[in-house]
Amino acid sequence: MAATAPESRKVDYTHLTAEEFRLIRILSDFETPTGARVVTRRALDEGVEFSEATVSRILLRLDRMGLTTRVERKGRMLTNEGRQLVEDTQQSRLVHDELRQALNITDVNQLVDLLRARRGLEQEAAILAAQHSTAEDLQALRSNVDLYRRTIGTRAGTNPGMEFHRLLIRAAHSPLLEAIARTILYDPVEKFEPALSAIVGEHGDLEQAVNQHAEIVDAVEAGDAEVARRLVHTHLSDFLEEADAFTKHANPSVVHRLLALIR
């Protein structure tokens, strides 16, 4: 049972120290008031050595944050806020572990699945960009297309190609889409971008890719959300088809070695 904090507080818990959170987590294992001596002993069992005085000082800080509360002379319990913090943190770690496992790409089929997710997200970003992009956004996109065209087929051409998609997401002015793109899609895909560019160069048409980027910018600037969405779908569908063609025609051992080298 969680105790109720003496008063409601709005506290930023993002700056909790590792020691503070450890004591909160230890207290979450107890349903009854627990004293500093028991908490100190539990921390030692986990391989962390605190003095009882240090634990008492940390618990006082947690009291002030509204995460723990003293129950007469029996010890401390987590407040509802403290127990919720532990549950939220454990859930976040579970999601993080599942996501990390899902993004541990070991074959081209997994990479293609990730590109499919990117296609869905970027279509929505294109719609929002057509509605909300600024003059600065459009200038950045056009400058990127110009740079991509000048460096196409060279080693330097990889970065502008990937950066275009980041800029498109940014032009949507959606913090949620940008966070999803950065955390789930682009960071995992970025390390594979040189390999993907090689695949497109071998089986596709890089010049066509640049022209498609330019057409997307035209649609965004015109405010035509449906055309922008359709162009993004076509562009990334072409990319997916090229990746699929590569997996079908390339020697499987070459594909696996390529992925192993860039993981």
8-46: pLDDT as tens digits: 444 556 678 888 999 999 999 999 999 999 999 999 998
CA 175 to chain centre: 12
pLDDT at residue 203 is higher than 50: no
The domain segmentation of the chain, as residue ranges, is: 13-97, 105-262
- Tell which wins on pLDDT, 115 or 258: 115
Rounded to two decimals, the pTM is: 0.60
- The pLDDT assigned to 261 comes to 44
Structure tokens at 19: 């020691």
Q: Could you give the CA distance from residue 144 to residue 153 in angstroms, rounded to a whole number?
A: 15
How far is the CA of 154 from the CAs of 95, 159, 163, 186, 236, in angstroms? 39, 10, 15, 21, 21
161-190: pLDDT as tens digits: 888 998 999 999 999 898 888 776 666 566
Fold of 105-262: Four Helix Bundle (Hemerythrin (Met), subunit A) (1.20.120)
Structure tokens at 25: 């987590």
Examine domains 13-97 and 105-262 and report if their fold is the same.
Answer: no
- The pLDDT assigned to 178 comes to 87
CATH architecture label of 13-97: Orthogonal Bundle (1.10)
